[in-house]
A and B are shown apart, each in its own frame.
Chain A
Amino acid sequence: GQNIDQPTEMTATEGAIVQINCTYQTSGFNGLFWYQQHAGEAPTFLSYNVLDGLEEKGRFSSFLSRSKGYSYLLLKELQMKDSASYLCAVWRAGSYQLTFGKGTKLSVIP
């Protein structure tokens, strides 16, 4: 089976940096996704990591350590519009099944 854990809620200040962690246990692994989801809307793709290391994309970066079953999403120069839920999801190798964590609700305050 698969188990994905991430914090339920986080609060950070506008302009600051925040790191959202995700740990996973899975039988077979073929990549980890981060999605952003604003309330009442569909998730939108942020990043994909399949190899260890850091992937940077503008203000957002994502890190993966396969040996530790660990990933984080780093958001820099926070803006109010970054207030959303951030979903960690793992592709199981050789499958069509993407398993999601429960999401981390980030609140950005002035």
Chain B
Amino acid sequence: DGGITQSPKYLFRKEGQNVTLSCEQNLNHDAMYWYRQDPGQGLRLIYYSQIVNDFQKGDIAEGYSVSREKKESFPLTVTSAQKNPTAFYLCASSAGQALSGNTIYFGEGSWLTVV
């Protein structure tokens, strides 16, 4: 089945550690995104990538890093510089930019907790 797969579903991070969240899509979409969701808050854009080997910062990129070496993969690293990383992380993809029909589809999400 076509879709977006995120792993792990649940992840615990110790203070000072870097952790990487995986995101893979088989929808043949060019664009991929990472959003963060905190309780009572909307989704906030961390990074996005329009095409392989290219990515752009979103509204809250500090303390995060990404790579886009393959079209189907867009991993997110939460670094120790991110002071409040506990949140629900959502990966998404779309066929292209803001044009009619280019809906953004989401993965199942990853819960990250700092312990």
Q: Which residues of A line the B interface, CB within 8 A?
A: 4, 8, 30-31, 33, 40-45, 48, 50, 87, 89, 91-103
Contact = CB atoms under 8 A, between A and B. Distances in A.
Given A92-B98, A100-B42, A102-B40, A45 B103 contact: yes
Tell me what chain A mostly uses at the interface: helix, strand, loop, or mixed. Answer: loop
Given A31-B98, A41-B109, A45-B105, A96 B48 contact: yes
23 contacts: A30-B98, A33-B104, A40-B88, A41-B109, A42-B107, A43-B106, A45-B104, A48-B100, A48-B101, A50-B100, A87-B43, A92-B98, A93-B98, A95-B97, A96-B50, A97-B45, A98-B33, A98-B98, A99-B45, A100-B44, A101-B42, A102-B42, A103-B42
Given A93-B98, A98-B104, A42 B42 contact: no
Interface of B: 31, 33, 35, 40-45, 48, 50, 56, 58, 88, 90, 94, 97-101, 103-109
Contacts of B43: 43, 87, 89, 100
A91 B15 CA distance: 36
B104 to A, nearest CB: 6
Contacts of B48: 96-97
